[in-house]
Amino acid sequence: MSHASDVLIAGAGIVGSACALACVRRGLRVAIVESSGIGAGATAAGMGHIVAMDDSPAQLALTNYSQQLWRDLSATLPPSVEYDPCGTLWVASDDEEMREVERKSKVYGAAGLLTEILDSRALANAEPNLRRPLAGALLVPSDAVLYPPCAAAFLMAQAQQLGAQLFSPRKVISAAAGKAQLDDGSEIHAAHIVIATGADAVALIAQLPIRKRKGHLAITDRYPGYVRHQLVELGYLKSAHATTADSVAFNVQPRRTGQILIGSSRQFNAETPEVDHPNLAAMIHRAQSYLPDIGSLSTIRIWTGFRAATPDKLPLIGPWLSDPSLILATGHEGLGITTSLATAQLVADHICSRASAIPIDPYLPARFAKVAAHV
Amino acid sequence: MSDPAQIIVCINGVHVAVPPATTVAAAILIAGAPIRTSISGQPRGPLCGMGMCFECRATINGVPHQRSCQIICADQMEVRVD
């Protein structure tokens, strides 16, 4: 059996679902192949923090653009997506981190993002369950949270209503030169094949500079109001940057249900999904060091997931080096939920040969041309 | 009520006398209090009675989500089921 389409998308996580909707809206014929459920991989494992991040100018440009797209979409999102513009508090524990608050505030301001600097007392009023004293915090009111698998399902349902065809449970086992082979022996021909399978993309292109980065999350029972913003320690970037050792950071999120999502951990060279108890314990202890009473809350579930990490902390968006029919939309590490909508616009712009709202260049796979040549 | 062996607990604002060593879950049943409602509006109540199913959760002395089948009534205990 053989099927023809303008665009084939491998993977119906939040990135693939967003790409499907963006492409079908441009009038393209779209097929999607998903081996499991909509948003069942890294999408379901993630926190769903829609966050502006300034690790690099390119990261800030992509997260800021995508966050705007989420805001534009927010009024149409169904209640199941649990979109909540609760804002982020970047928590500073000492004077050095308060200087980082000031630096961050300036960078965000230059990008058009309003922020507010909270001193020690204002932070204690905003979040009474945080330990005292803390030095202060940066409030980013434009950040939000949502429930990622329902967001992916919403995007996919919209795409299907507009004519996108979903093949599931089917798996793309190879893709090259405008042709994809599926696990049931069928073929799909498409001028553009979007690879949106997260860390599993290496199964289709072995040379991809992507590594699995394992993470743990815990979720509590319902304690409405226990925390009011997404709370992230400013030391978070130190954890996110560590490229070898296992690391943990304080990163806690209030859900619309009153549940508290507790993160975060990062591990390389851990490619199986079981809970790593020492790593989990370190993560919970980190949360306890900021929320001393959190140990009295009841945790109902703990799980792991795999981020698709690139060496330079930027995603891979655009044509693959040796085969431009393959368009990558992966490598988002911890920012795939945030940047899914912008990624989809960049992919659709590329396919339609149109200029994008932000330059695609920093995310192009071509930046790894030298690396791949040496493989 | 004058029996000294009885313990008085307050369930959703109503005082109930129960024998010593009564679990809070049993006291809720004795009081005839409405059973818990899940987040989607479904009725819930003690199922396993041994702390595994979490269906008997109640707020006890202000602490939410306590497994009422695993806690013995103490005099003047405040219990909320909702």
Give domain status of residue B38, yes or no: yes
pLDDT tens-digit series, residues A132-173:
999 999 999 999 999 999 999 999 999 999 999 999 999 999
Interchain pair A221, B39: CB under 8 A: no
Question: Band of the pLDDT at A239, cuts 50, 70, 90?
Answer: low
pLDDT at residue number A375:
47
Select from B55, B65, B71 the residue whose CB has the most chain A CBs within 10 Å, as the one to mutate to test that interface: B65
What is the band of A259 on the pLDDT scale with cuts at 50, 70, 90?
very high
Contact B64 A300 (CB under 8 A): no
ipTM: 0.75
B21 falls within a domain: yes
| Helix, strand, coil content of chain B in percent (nearest 5) | 15, 35, 55
Mean pLDDT for the stretch of residues A314-343: 97
Query: Is B1 domain-assigned?
Result: no
Query: Of all helices (H) and strands (E), which one includes residue A241?
Result: helix A236-241
Closest residue in chain B to residue A256, using alpha carbons only = B39
For helices A14-25 and A336-351, the axis angle rounded to 10 degrees is 30
Put simply, the answer to whether B65 touches A296 (Cβ < 8 Å) is no
* Pairing label, strands A247-254, A230-233: antiparallel
pLDDT band at residue B35, thresholds of 50, 70 and 90? confident
Distance from CA of B64 to the nearest CA of A (A): 8
Average pLDDT over residues A169-186: 97
CB contact under 8 A, A222 and B54: no
Count of CB contacts below 8 A, A vs B? 12
Q: Cα angle at A25 between A21 and A31, to 5 degrees?
A: 55
Structural contact between residues A254 and A144, judged by C-beta atoms closer than 8 angstroms: no
How far is residue A259's CA from residue A66's CA, in Å, rounded to a whole number?
A: 26
Q: Is B65–A222 a contact, with Cβ atoms under 8 angstroms apart?
A: yes
Whether residue B50 lies inside any domain: the answer is yes
- The A-side interface with B (CB below 8 A) comprises 221-223, 257, 296, 298, 300
Confidence of residue A373 (pLDDT cuts 50, 70, 90): low
Block residue for tokens 């040379």: A207
- Would you say residue B59 has pLDDT above 80? yes
CATH of the domain at B69: 3.10.20.30
The reported pLDDT for the residue numbered A342 is 98
- Residues of chain B in contact with residue A221, where contact means CB-CB under 8 angstroms, are 57, 64-65
Give the Cα separation of B76 and B61 in Å (integer).
9
Q: Is B63 within 8 Å of A257 when comparing Cβ atoms? A: no
Q: What mean pLDDT is reported for chain B?
A: 91
Read off the pLDDT band of A246 (50, 70, 90): confident
Question: CA–CA separation, A217 vs A275, rounded Å?
Answer: 10
Q: Which pLDDT does position A232 carry in this prediction? A: 98
CA nearest A191: which of A351, A16, A353? A351
Residue B57 lies in domain: 7-80
**Contact yes or no for A284/A292 (Cβ under 8 A):** no
Look at residue B38 and give its three-state secondary structure.
coil
- State yes or no: cis peptide before A169, omega within 30 of 0: yes
Residue that wins the pLDDT comparison between B82 and A282: A282
pLDDT at A274 over 90: yes
pLDDT of residue A55: 93
What is the value of pTM for the model shown? 0.92
Residue A298 with chain B: CB contacts under 8 Å: 65
Q: Is B1 on the interface with A (CB under 8 A)?
A: no
The single-letter DSSP state of residue A335 is G
Residues of B in contact with A300 (CB under 8 A): 54
**Does A295 have pLDDT greater than 70?**
yes
- Shortest Cα distance from A79 to chain B (angstroms)? 13
**B63: contact with A, CB 8 A cutoff:** yes
* Domains of chain A with CATH codes: 2-46+148-209+312-373 (3.50.50.60), 85-143+211-309 (3.30.9.10)
- Give CA–CA dist A6/A192, Å, rounded: 6
Per the domain annotation, does B47 fall within a domain?
yes
Give the mean pLDDT of chain A: 95
Q: A25, A212 in Cβ contact below 8 A?
A: no
Q: Which of A223, A260, A293, A298 to mutate to test the interface with B (most CBs of B within 10 A)?
A: A298
- The distance of A219 to chain B (nearest Cα, Å) reads 14
CA atoms within 13 A on the CB side of A180: 34
pLDDT (0 to 100) of residue A242: 64
How does pLDDT run across A51-81, given as a tens digit for each residue? 999 999 999 999 999 999 999 999 999 999 9
Supply the pLDDT for residue B4.
61
Q: Which residues pair with B65 in a beta bridge?
A: none
CB proximity B51 to A under 8 Å: no
A195-229: pLDDT as tens digits: 999 999 999 999 999 999 999 999 999 999 999 99
pLDDT number for residue A240: 64
Spell out the long-range contacts of B18-24 with Cβ–Cβ below 8 A and sequence spacing 24 or more.
B18/B73, B21/B72, B22/B72, B22/B73, B23/B68, B23/B69, B23/B70, B23/B71, B23/B72, B23/B73, B24/B58, B24/B60, B24/B66, B24/B68, B24/B69, B24/B71, B24/B72, B24/B73, B24/B77, B24/B79
Least-confidence region, from A84-88, A148-152, B28-32, B76-80? B28-32
| DSSP codes, A268-325 | SS--S-S--HHHHHHHHHHHHHHSTTGGGSPEEEEEEEEEEE-TTS--EEEE-SS-TT
First to last CA, chain A: 35
- Structural domains counted in chain B: 1
Q: Is residue B62 part of a domain?
A: yes
- Give yes or no for residue A243 having a pLDDT over 80: no
- Interval A19-38 mean pLDDT: 98
In a domain, B2, yes or no: no
Does residue B30 lie within any of the structural domains?
yes
